[in-house]
Chain A
Amino acid sequence: MKRLDSRLLLRGLLVVFGLAGFALGALVASSSFARVTRSAELEDVFTDAAELPPDLVDQVVWADDPATLERQMEPLTRTGLTSAWLRAWEQVSIVSETGQIDGVEVYFSGSARESVISLASSWGGQSRTQLGHDLELTFYSLDGQIIGLTATESRFELERTTSSDTRTALTRERFDAVLVLEDGNWRIHHLVRRDVEREPWVPVLTD
């Protein structure tokens, strides 16, 4: 009977530790899987096309147009312009994350295109993701080919990853921009940042 008690205790312990081992294995497997799905290769795959995040459209707010404009902007043009602006910044985000420049010429022209392309390989470890824009039209040419606008506040999330940690910072920036209509597409021709208001970098706390 006493020998039986000892064996029962051992078996109970084996069951308990077996269950604990199984739970540990599942935890390790899920953790590994989560890391695999965040790998850079998969991000490359999923960010190859400049898909316009639908939620972002709602994050673009246009101020009332100034009365001094020589031509009033058509609603359809404003829709196209909003889309072009968002897609252009989405392209910058793609460039910052992947270094890919395939779509840059679709959304940028002239010296702006050259600048985005020349800087594409320098982003290493740092990326920029748009969060929203407050826009104000400043110029619309009579023939509807050139637009000047001020992004009174463009909001971005910056991310910097090093070998030791990952940090993010929210930033609010002000830009002046000129866009031209080329081949039916609005393209950013010039972009000049006028102001930056950046919050402190904070470490990313992940699981």
Chain B
Amino acid sequence: MRRLTKPTWRVVGVFVALLAAMAVWAARPDAEVLAAIELSDLEVQSPATHPADAALPVSITGVIPGDVVSVIIESSYGIRQIEVVAESTSIQVEIAPSDHAEAGLVVIDVWSPNGYGSTTVELTPGEAVGPLDVYLGPRTMFANGNDLAMVVAVPVDVQGNPVASGTRVDTRTIRPDRSVEVDATTTSGLLGYRIIFSETLAGATTVSATSGAAIGPARRVDEVANTPVDLDVVLLDPVPPSDGAALFRVSTNELVDQFGNLLPDGTIVTLDAVGVTGVRRQTAATIAAVATFVVQVPDLPGKAAFTAYVSTATSPPLVVDFEPAVAELPVRVTVPDEVTVPDAVDAGLQIEIGSVTTPLGSLVPDGTHALITLQSDGTDLRIVRRTQLYRGEGAITISRQELDDFGGAFGLTVTVLGVQATADWPRP
């Protein structure tokens, strides 16, 4: 191998230098690590406790004159930063109240280019100022002497900090009978509260709270009647006959609780009617402690029981006897003369109903249904027709072909509003 030429050595030298540079770059310490120098201790002093609304003095020792010193005030919600230039190794900083408004434990961190120190200060809140933050709930309670509501007050100082634990909160409760109760409690866990028990007179109870000079808005809780006693159902109108159309009114008695308090307007009352046509359920809201229902009469005569429900109270059933709505039900059956009537072969049987009248002497309402049933005496065969009465009358025709299967005699029944008229008729 011959000796390398000078240019070759130069190239090799350049590559070796490059390699060395790469090695140095790869092995470089991180820039942040380089900067993570040891910090000297700064001595930071401040009062252990201090009013939140007063300027806070902080003493810092150990800084280098000329350094920019960052003072970081960290409260419950965030931080504020102040920068000062050190004029000597010991500096005094006065932190304005606006820079440490939040009460509680505040951490003061002091950073200089080469040093760090920290301290904590308990910033104490000031006196309560108005308006006092007052909550009251629930907003209604039963006037049964046993229900309860709660008034909660969160007194704060002028900077919005909850006042110190143990701060007195006075409450004033005005009852529906205008009697006044005064009570006091103290704050704990940033708030103060008091339980208010109901009395036995329904009405508005007003609660107000104060803490020192702080006055809060009055809050209202309604004391309302509890479950009614002696719930009953009464008829307001004469009971119409059971024509399926007439209306009549049923109501509750005046609803009062055990202490005589009227139930509030809007109390929902449920009325169940159980009778020959089944069960019907209605609801109504009370007005002046009475719930009124408008009930449609059934289309069948018979008895129906009306029962009202309010909360857990149940009335005894009110039994109403619905009279038949039909006083007279004439039925005429005719067989056309095959000689005089040309189409008598198909005419069969003609059944005419009416005039059907009510117990009051009037005609039954138009549209009233009439049910016509022909029952063969000798077989199970049956023909059923339905028609509606107009002006109290109606008519149907049973063709001869339909009657062909009927052997011998058959029975005819006409039913209108549950009233029946019957007739036996020989086969024509």
Taken together as a complex, chains A and B put the C-alpha atoms of A8 and B32 apart, in Å, by 44
B4 contact set on A, CB distance < 8 A = 6, 9
Residues from chain A with a CB closer than 8 A to the CB of B30 are 205-207
Q: Which residues of B contact A115 (CB under 8 A)?
A: 75-78, 101-102, 160
Give the chain B neighbours of A201 by CB distance below 8 A: 39, 116
From DSSP, what is the main secondary structure of chain A's interface residues?
mixed
Q: Is the CB of A2 within 8 A of B1?
A: yes
Known contacts: A111-B160, A164-B35, A207-B30. The answer to whether A70 contacts B195 by CB under 8 A is yes
* B-contacting 9-mer, from A51-59, A72-80, A189-197: A189-197
What separation, in Å, do the CA atoms of A60 and B378 have in the docked complex?
Answer: 87
Judged by a CB distance under 8 angstroms, whether A92 is at the interface is: yes
A5 in contact with B105 (CB, 8 Å): no
Tally A-B pairs: CB < 8 A: 158
Q: Is A150 an interface residue (CB 8 A)?
A: yes
The contact of B75 among A142, A165, A193, by CB within 8 Å, is: A193
Interface residues of A in 93-137 (CB under 8 A from B): 95-96, 110-112, 114-116, 119-120, 122-124, 126
Mark A residues whose CB is within 8 Å of B: 2-3, 5-6, 9-10, 13, 17, 20, 24, 27, 70, 92, 95-96, 110-112, 114-116, 119-120, 122-124, 126, 138-139, 141-146, 148, 150, 160, 162, 164-167, 175-178, 180, 189-196, 198, 201, 203-207
Residues of B within 8 A of A (CB): 1-2, 4-5, 8, 11-12, 15, 18-19, 22, 25-26, 30, 32-33, 35-36, 39, 72, 75-81, 101-107, 111, 113, 116, 118, 120, 133, 135, 137-139, 148-150, 152, 154, 156, 159-162, 188-191, 193, 195
Please name 26 pairs of A and B residues whose Cβ atoms are closer than 8 Å in the assembled complex, sorted by A.
A6-B8, A13-B11, A17-B18, A20-B18, A95-B78, A112-B77, A115-B76, A115-B101, A116-B77, A119-B75, A119-B79, A122-B80, A139-B191, A142-B138, A142-B150, A150-B189, A164-B113, A166-B32, A178-B190, A191-B104, A194-B105, A201-B39, A203-B36, A205-B30, A205-B32, A205-B36
